[in-house]
Amino acid sequence: MPLINLPDFANDLLSEFAARNAERIDTPVIQPAEPFLDIAGEDLRRRIFMTESETGASLCLRPEFTIPVCLRHIETATGTPKRYAYLGEVFRQRRDGANEFYQAGIEDLGDINIPSADARAIGDATGILARLLPGRRLSVTLGDQAVFEAVVQALGLPLGWQKRLIHAFGNMTQLEALLAGLVSPQFVTGLDDDIARLVASGDEQALVAHIEQEMQATGYSTNASRSPLEIARRLKEKLILSETRLDDAAFHVLEEFLSLDVPLVNASAALAGFADAAGLKLGNALSRFNGRVAALANAGVDLSCLDYRAAFGRPLDYYTGLVFEVTAEGSSAVLAGGGRFDRLLTFLGATDRIPAVGFSFWLDRIETERAAA
């Protein structure tokens, strides 16, 4: 289907992609909904336009391109490294702007030189925007999911709390609520006395047997929902989480980390100083961060327009490391955004682990900025 009402710079954009050896790919507008519901994150899930096939399969209008491009790569069994470019319509509810709009971008799959690939993504995004918006100074906000995960893990919190905090990364409202719960835990109430006793005893086998007996007695099918074992383990995890309290020192360490907001040229030193003062070993996450900064400098990216904000994330659950967004001076509109998603292709069915990074442009926002120039 031919694309209509494209902005006048669309062909320039495609030329930029071709010059960067990115193969243009198209994906169906109608997509299986399950990958987006399972992987993309709550923020995107609640804005998807859903439908259903005649056989009852859940479908949706394409809400973004990263997952469809990765699915196409897996389906065609294409080797890596591979760079894909796309330009097309996406459909999702937005707080501002139309619910049907154009996005374009590049997905870089399989490059094992992580720092170089990250630097290329940022360099390509800013380089293309600089051509589309000549004379406009660009600003890049950069975060790192892997560094946040390393901090949370180094604090030694229970795995359940680590998962919750990591899941909330980038959403400060949710993150602050979770931290408040860690400082002042709310104990589990309302459990049946027998279940409460069995959970507290730690006897998983007896707890599972009791839950299974109760489910059979009430006619509740184990095939329709979680199994007795899953329910038992979820109850145990809930009890552990409710009894976990983050001591004041650890809380202040997290607060200090999340408050870091520095020019990227100073970020490596700031992170090293933070880790030393807190007595945390951030290991590979910090090494990869430093490698990315060096790769950006080697690639000729203007580091003066990049800032690192420790609390910055993007509302998609598949990111695993670098996350970034680009704005133009004098405007808060995000013109481009992207990041690293090393686990996504495995989740989608790839047999091998495929490192990946990419970015998208919001064409309607770029068009607005060009018109205002």
Q: Which of 147, 146, 148, 126 is nearest to 137 (CA)?
A: 126
State yes or no: 189 annotated in a binding site. Answer: no
Return all residues near 74 (Cβ < 8 A) that are at least 6 apart: 345, 348, 349, 350
From the list 179, 213, 215, 211, the residue with the least C-alpha distance to 196 is 211
The reply to whether 75 sits in an annotated binding site is no
Residue 308 is assigned to a ligand binding site:
no
DSSP annotation string for 10-46? HHHHHHHHHHTTPEE----SEEESHHIIIII-HHHHT
How far apart (Å, rounded) are the C-alpha atoms in residues 231 and 161?
18
Confirm or deny that 318 is annotated as ligand binding.
yes
Dihedral sign, Cα of residue 7, residue 8, residue 14, residue 19:
negative
176 annotated among ligand-binding-site residues: no
Distance CA 235, CA 214 (A): 15
Q: Is 319 within any annotated ligand binding site?
A: yes
Given a contact cutoff of 8 angstroms between Cβ atoms, the answer to whether 75 and 69 are in contact is: no
Q: DSSP code of 92? A: B
Question: Residues 269, 289: contact at Cβ < 8 Å?
Answer: no
The pair of structure tokens assigned to 362 is 């919001």
The candidate with the shortest Cα–Cα distance to 140, out of 20, 294, 263, is 263
Cis peptide before 81 (omega within 30 of 0): yes
329 is in an annotated binding site: no
**How big is the chain, counted in residues?**
373
How does 300-317 read in b/e, with b if 16+ C-beta sit within 10 Å? ebebebbbbbbbbbbbbb
The span from the CA of 228 to the CA of 269, in Å, is 49
User: Known binding site for L-histidine: residues?
Assistant: 64-66, 92, 103, 107, 314, 318-319
User: Known binding site: residues?
Assistant: 64-66, 92, 103, 107, 314, 318-319
